[in-house]
Copies of this chain bind each other. A is one copy, B any other.
Amino acid sequence: MSEGRRGAARSETARLAILEATAALFAERGYDHLSIEGIATRAGVGKQTVYRWWPGKSALIAECLLEGMLLPERFAMPDTGDLRADVVAWLTEVEAVLESPTGEGLFRSLIAAASENVDVARRLRESLADPRLFLPRLLAARDSGEVRADLPVEEVSEALVGAVMLRALAHSPADPGLPRRLVDLTLGPRPS
Q: A: which residues have CB within 8 A of B? A: 30-32, 108-109, 111-112, 114-116, 118, 121-122, 125, 148, 150-152, 154-156, 158-167, 169-171, 178, 181-182, 184-186, 188-189
Chain B residues positioned under 8 Å from A31 (CB to CB) = 115
Would you call the interface of chain A mostly helix, strand, loop, or mixed?
helix
Most chain B CB within a 10 A radius of its CB, from A114, A116, A118, A166: A166
A169 touches B112 (CB 8 A): no
Kindly provide the distance from the CB of A44 to the nearest chain B CB, expressed in whole angstroms: 14
Give the docked Cα–Cα distance between A54 and B108 (Å). Answer: 22
Chain B residues positioned under 8 Å from A109 (CB to CB) = 115
A163-B155 contact in complex given A109-B115, A111-B111, C-beta closer than 8 Å: yes
Chain B residues positioned under 8 Å from A154 (CB to CB) = 181
Chain B residues positioned under 8 Å from A114 (CB to CB) = 111, 169-170
A182-B169 contact in complex given A109-B115, A111-B115, A112-B112, C-beta closer than 8 Å: no
Kindly provide the distance from the CB of A120 to the nearest chain B CB, expressed in whole angstroms: 9
The residue in chain B whose Cβ has the minimal distance to the Cβ of A115 is B112
